[in-house]
Amino acid sequence: MITRRAFARHVGGVVSAMPWAGEAFLAHRAMARVVPRSGMISLDSNENPAGPFPAALEAIKQGAADTARYHFEEFGAFAERLARSEDLKPDQVLFGVGSSEILSAAICAFTSAALPMITAVPTFEIPMEFARSLGHKTIEIPLTGSWAFPVKRLAQEADRAGGGLIYLSNPNNPTSSLTPNADLAWLASNLPANTVLLVDEAYIQFTDPSRVTSALDYVRRNQNVVVTRTFSKIYGMAGARVGFGCGRPDLVRSILTFKDNVIPILGLRAATAALGEAAIIVPKRRAEMTRIRGELCSWLREKGVSYIEPHANFLMIDIRRDVRSFGPAMFRKGVAVGRPFPPLDQMLRVTIGTDQEMARFRETFWQVYSA
Ligand SMILES: Cc1ncc(COP(=O)(O)O)c(C=O)c1O
């Protein structure tokens, strides 16, 4: 496993002043998306190569002509269906155009120029960038030595600031690591006044259920906690753009102030259909991804390459050289991999794809690594 002494040296205090250095790489990837090259494989965005569930695909095919209208009349039933799937009441859920929309609306609701957005890095950077773009206050501290969110320090920062929104991704993107259940339970029960904890569970269905407790438990107990979930990852519907948030009714109402609660009708229908198959397909997909990821980990160990122990459908590999040249070198050979996540400048994030894609990844990775 990876020690992170160097990481700690880099992070303390300087991250908030450091520009995110991944722009060129992001632009590079965006170009590739605009002009797709034949045979290119995408292991860069933590998507799911299995795609939509069969019933979801059928709902999309059947519903094409219904895109003529908004279908507001279906939205209430969708909220009820989502609530039932998580053992909540309809007024404890809201849905959005991907979970991204819920994250953005929550940032609008619970942060300001005075009330900060607080997180530990590296993590999914878009929410912090959004808060910054609004001119809202942001606070970043480093993850712990075992790549968990340092819950006591997050609470201290919120206390010092007089409240705010704590963002915690579990499992975390990009490190694929978990924050221990006991730490999360402590934070949910020890939030300073005026503080909301937002737990982003975009990848939680990929995690061994015996290792993780969903923060939905704290929502059910009416704590100051909001949980976001998405149909983009294990459900394989990133392009359908459906996500949802869960929280106490008053928190849900605050977030709803900043969004219209309208999503594409085909996404709504596909998500509804997918929920009907979830009990069978979600565990199967988790098992399949875990097998493929395990094979990659074994191969890396054989090659003497270290990585962070993964709990989601992606893996952070210690490449011991600058990812800013390694990523583009892989890209030129037809394998798109994750963007840089400063300050982990020598780590490469790879999404777990199909067996064939991972065979191609291994071959290309080794060519670039041993060059
Ligand atoms: C941690 C995390 N949260 C949220 C999202 C946003 O997903 P979506 O808007 O597709 O639901 C992503 C996307 O990759 C992510 O990595």
**Fold annotation for 54-277:** Aspartate Aminotransferase; domain 2 (3.40.640)
Tens of pLDDT, residues 37-72: 678 999 999 999 999 999 999 999 999 999 999 999
Helix (H) or strand (E) holding 109: helix 98-110
Distance 304 CA to ligand 1 centre (A): 31
Q: Answer whether 243 contacts ligand 1 (Cβ < 6 A).
A: yes
Test site for ligand 1: of 124, 241, 311, 314, most ligand atoms within 8 A of the Cβ: 124
What pLDDT score does 38 carry?
A: 76
Distance 99 CA to ligand 1 centre (A): 6
- Determine the 3-state secondary structure of 352 from DSSP: coil
Distance 169 CA to ligand 1 centre (A): 10
pTM reported for the whole predicted model = 0.91
Rounded CA gap, 184 and 154, in Å? 11
Residue span(s) of the chain under CATH 3.90.1150.10 come to 5-50+282-369
Q: Could you write out the DSSP letters of every residue in 217-228?
A: HHHHTT-SEEEE
Weakly modelled stretches of the chain, pLDDT under 50 = 1-25, 27, 30-31, 34
Nearest CA to ligand 1 atom 3: 202
What pLDDT score does 36 carry?
A: 53
CATH number corresponding to 5-50+282-369: 3.90.1150.10
Distance 329 CA to ligand 1 centre (A): 26
Residue span(s) of the chain under CATH 3.40.640.10 come to 54-277
Distance 6 CA to ligand 1 centre (A): 28
Number of C-alpha atoms within 13 angstroms, CB side, residue 78?
Answer: 26
Q: How far is CA 111 from the centre of its chain?
A: 20
What pLDDT score does 39 carry?
A: 86
Tens of pLDDT, residues 240-297: 999 999 999 999 999 999 988 789 999 999 999 999 999 999 999 999 999 999 999 9
Tens of pLDDT, residues 127-139: 999 999 999 999 9
Rounded CA gap, 336 and 328, in Å? 8
Q: Answer whether 122 contacts ligand 1 (Cβ < 6 A).
A: no
The DSSP output letter for 72 is: G
% residues pLDDT > 70 (the chain) = 90
What pLDDT score does 32 carry?
A: 54
Whole-Å CA distances, 90 to 15, 81, 158, 169, 231: 39, 8, 30, 24, 18
Test site for ligand 1: of 43, 173, 315, most ligand atoms within 8 A of the Cβ: 173
Distance 249 CA to ligand 1 centre (A): 23
What pLDDT score does 102 carry?
A: 97
Radius of gyration of the chain (CA): 20
Q: Answer whether 230 contacts ligand 1 (Cβ < 6 A).
A: yes
Q: Answer whether 232 contacts ligand 1 (Cβ < 6 A).
A: yes
> What is the atom index within ligand 1 of the atom nearest the CA of 101?
9
Distance 244 CA to ligand 1 centre (A): 11
What pLDDT score does 260 carry?
A: 82
Contact between 368 and 333 under an 8 Å Cβ cutoff? The reply is: yes
